[in-house]
C-alpha cells in the first residue's frame, strides 16, 4: 500500500513537532528591573530575578543564588547577554541543578564594596538590606546552607569578597573571570585606568604603593585569602573559573595557588577562552551546579 504525503501534512507534522519541542522544557519566569529601596544608599536599587518553573504553582521555599554582573553592566546583563534563565530552565528540567531563585542586583561600578569615603556603601546595602529584602519578598530558604553567590569579572570579585567577609551567609561561591589583582598588579595599573575605575573607591589619584592601603586590603580577595583564618575560609565551598587567555588570569591563578598552599578545599578550572559572554554562557551552569550541591541533604 502506498501512502501519499502531501505538503500540508508535512507542514502540520513540523508544526506539531516544533510546538511540542518548545514546550518540553518548563520555563521559569524573569522579572526585570524591579526596585529595592535603600536607606543606606539613599536611592532605589534595581534588580532582576529568576523564579524557577514551578514557583507559581507550589508553596515550597527555594534556595537563592545571588548572581552579580560585571563592570559597566547592570541587573539585566545575565539574562540579556548570559541567557541564564534559558540555561537554568534546561538544567533544572534535566536535574543538573536544583530549582533555585536567582537574584541579580544592579551595582553600577561600585565593585560591590563600600567606597573609602562611604558615599556609596554598597556592601552594607547588599548584606543588610538586599538579602533580607529578597528573603522577605520571595519564598526563599533564609539560611546559609541554602544561599550561594556567583558572578563574573567585577561580579566575580564581589562574589569572592562577600563569601570571604561574610562566610556565615553563604554555603557556596562560584567566581568567573574574577576581577582580582595582586598588590603588585594593582600598583602597576596605568594611572588613567586606576583613576577611572578605582579612584572613587580606594582613594583619588593614588600612585604607586599608596594604592595598597588598608581599604584595598579589606576588599582584596587575594589578600583576604592569604590572611583570613583558614577555618573561616573553609566555611564556604569555592569554585574559581578563568579562561586561559583572560587578561585577569594572574589574580585568579594567584588565588588558586594561595588556597592550595593553605590547604583550603576548592575547585579551580581553566578552559580555552577569553573575557567574554560566550565563555561565561558556556560555564555558568557548572558553577550553579557546584553551588547547588551545597543545597542537598546528605
Position 23 scores a pLDDT of 58
Assign 17 a pLDDT band (cuts: 50, 70, 90): very low
Assign 140 a pLDDT band (cuts: 50, 70, 90): very high
Position 296 scores a pLDDT of 78
Rg of the chain over all Cα atoms, to the nearest angstrom: 21
Q: How large is the average pLDDT for residues 168-172?
A: 98
Assign 245 a pLDDT band (cuts: 50, 70, 90): very high
25 vs 276, which has greater pLDDT? 276
Assign 189 a pLDDT band (cuts: 50, 70, 90): very high
Q: How large is the average pLDDT for residues 167-191?
A: 98
Assign 9 a pLDDT band (cuts: 50, 70, 90): very low
Q: How large is the average pLDDT for residues 172-195?
A: 98
Residue 298 pLDDT > 80 = no
Q: How many residues does the chain have?
A: 298
Q: Give the model confidence (pLDDT) of 97-133 as tens digits.
A: 999 999 999 999 999 999 999 999 999 999 999 999 9
Position 18 scores a pLDDT of 45
- 66 vs 43: CA distance, rounded Å: 20
Residue 19 pLDDT > 60 = no
Q: What stretch of H or E contains 50? A: strand 45-51
Assign 297 a pLDDT band (cuts: 50, 70, 90): low
Burial 287-296 (b: 16+ CB within 10 A, else e): bbebbbbbbe
Strand order in the sheet with 237-243: 29-36, 45-51, 101-105, 64-68, 147-152, 172-176, 237-243, 267-271
Name beta bridge partners: 255: none
Q: What are phi and psi of 209, to 5 degrees?
A: -70, -10
CB 174 within 8 A of CB 199: no
CB 271 within 8 A of CB 283: yes
Q: At what angle do helices 277-293 and 84-93 cross, to 10 degrees?
A: 40
Q: How large is the average pLDDT for residues 59-79?
A: 98
Percent of residues, the chain, with pLDDT higher than 70 = 92
CA distance to 45, 176, 225, 279, per residue, from 86 (Å):
25, 19, 34, 16
How far does CA 283 lie from the centroid of its chain?
A: 12
From the list 70, 73, 66, the residue with the least C-alpha distance to 50 is 66
Assign 207 a pLDDT band (cuts: 50, 70, 90): very high
Beta-strand relationship, 101-105 and 45-51:
antiparallel
The position carrying cell 575547585 is 267
- 48 vs 35: CA distance, rounded Å: 9
Q: What stretch of H or E contains 184? A: helix 183-187
Dihedral over alpha carbons 158, 159, 165, 171 (to 10 degrees):
170
Q: What stretch of H or E contains 233? A: helix 230-233
CB 292 within 8 A of CB 99: no
Q: How large is the average pLDDT for residues 65-83?
A: 98
- 99 vs 204: CA distance, rounded Å: 44
- 294 vs 276: CA distance, rounded Å: 27
Position 71 scores a pLDDT of 98
Residue 1 pLDDT > 80 = no
Assign 24 a pLDDT band (cuts: 50, 70, 90): confident
Domains and CATH numbers, the chain: 26-180+220-293 (3.40.50.1820)
Position 151 scores a pLDDT of 98
Amino acid at each position: 500500500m502506498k501512502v501519499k504525503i502531501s505538503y500540508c501534512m508535512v507542514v502540520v507534522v513540523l508544526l506539531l513537532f516544533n510546538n511540542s519541542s518548545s514546550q518540553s522544557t518548563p520555563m521559569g519566569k524573569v522579572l526585570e528591573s524591579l526596585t529595592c529601596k535603600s536607606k543606606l544608599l539613599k536611592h532605589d536599587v534595581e534588580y532582576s530575578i529568576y523564579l524557577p518553573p514551578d514557583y507559581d504553582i507550589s508553596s515550597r521555599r527555594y534556595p537563592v543564588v545571588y548572581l552579580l554582573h560585571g563592570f559597566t553592566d547592570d541587573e539585566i546583563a545575565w539574562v540579556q547577554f548570559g541567557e541564564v534563565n534559558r540555561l537554568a530552565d534546561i538544567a533544572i528540567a534535566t536535574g543538573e541543578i536544583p530549582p533555585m531563585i536567582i537574584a541579580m542586583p544592579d551595582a553600577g561600578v561600585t565593585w560591590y564594596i563600600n567606597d573609602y569615603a562611604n558615599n556609596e556603601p554598597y556592601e552594607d546595602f547588599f548584606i543588610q538590606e538586599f538579602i533580607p529584602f529578597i528573603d522577605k519578598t520571595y519564598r526563599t530558604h533564609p539560611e546559609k546552607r541554602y544561599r550561594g553567590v556567583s558572578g563574573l569579572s567585577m561580579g566575580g570579585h564581589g562574589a569572592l569578597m562577600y563569601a570571604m567577609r561574610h562566610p556565615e551567609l553563604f554555603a557556596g561561591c562560584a567566581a568567573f573571570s574574577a576581577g582580582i589583582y595582586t598588590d603588585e598588579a594593582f600598583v602597576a595599573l596605568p594611572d588613567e585606568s586606576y583613576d577611572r575605575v578605582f579612584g572613587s573607591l580606594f582613594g583619588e589619584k593614588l600612585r604607586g604603593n599608596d594604592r595598597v592601603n588598608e581599604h584595598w586590603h579589606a576588599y582584596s580577595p587575594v589578600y583576604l585569602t592569604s590572611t583570613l583564618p583558614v577555618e573561616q575560609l573553609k566555611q564556604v565551598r569555592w569554585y574559581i573559573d578563568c579562561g586561559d587567555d583572560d587578561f585577569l588570569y594572574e589574580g585568579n591563578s594567584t588565588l588558586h595557588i594561595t588556597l592550595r598552599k593553605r590547604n583550603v578545599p576548592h575547585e579551580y578550572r581553566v578552559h580555552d577562552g577569553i573575557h567574554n559572554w560566550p565563555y561565561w554562557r558556556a560555564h555558568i551552569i557548572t558553577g550553579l551546579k557546584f553551588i547547588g550541591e551545597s543545597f542537598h541533604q546528605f
